Amino acid sequence: MTARRRTDRGGRDGADERASLEPGSVTLVGGGPGDPGLLTVSGLEALRSADVVVVDRLAPLGALAELDVDVIDVGKIPRGRFTAQEEINRILVEQARAGRRVVRLKGGDNFVFGRGGEEVAACAGAGIPVRVVPGVSSALAGPALAGVPVTHRGLNQGFTVISGHVAPGDPRSTIDYGALARSGTDLVLLMAVASLPAITSTLVAEGLDPATPAATIADAALPTQRVVRADVATIAARMAEEGIGAPAITVIGAVAGFDPEA
């Protein structure tokens, strides 16, 4: 789907505004957790310099509302409409070869479970100039916006971010959940709504205390943000009771029970 959006640039010279990107180039921009206000200054400047933006559904779409750019929607909906990564790579290369300034806008950070490395490799292999503008990862921003610090002195000495898009026991899974259960670090789970019951039960079976605090943040940074708190043994059931769906981030560990007033 392609849409055209226009804006009054307030008298600024469009050529000057576009000078930050080269014709026939691709810039990967991490859009942050969803609120346009959490897009970086460099990311916003790249968008303002673009001819075309190739966008995901979790990107800060509000940032495009007043820009004069072509928008190509390549969003992936869980168990729904899906744009293959190979097709996205083809679009990036095709648009850049047409002499356009292309921005690939994604939610979070392109290099945190965002396939940014694949897109950089596709562009580099095609001889397309490509650069990266990092974004605020939802793995950090989501918990912070819910009042959950991923590290806190006296509670933990680190955290581990994992993708839960495949469940424990799935042949595609490469995660040692037993090691995670014994690691002593808190866990931040992305893309784990459907697999959370299997993940939490596996962690408990591998020795994690079932009373370990857990918190799930849905729609982080959006007006619809919701937070559900429980322990690792019951967080999946609580999410189901509350009707929590993707996108959501789950934190498991002492920091999930952080109380600033304690």
Question: How remote is the C-alpha of 71 from its chain's centroid?
Answer: 19
For residue 247, cis peptide bond before it (omega within 30 degrees of 0): yes
Query: Annotated active-site positions, please?
Result: 56, 76
Q: Report phi then psi at 203, rounded to 5.
A: -60, -45
Sign of CA dihedral 19, 107, 131, 85: negative
Tell me the pairing of strands 2-5 and 69-73. Answer: antiparallel
Tokens matching residue 105: 């806008």
Residue of 120, 17, 112 lying closest to 69 (CA atoms): 17
Buried b (16+ CB within 10 A) or exposed e, 152-188: eeeebeebbbbbbbbbbeeeebebebeebbeeeebbb
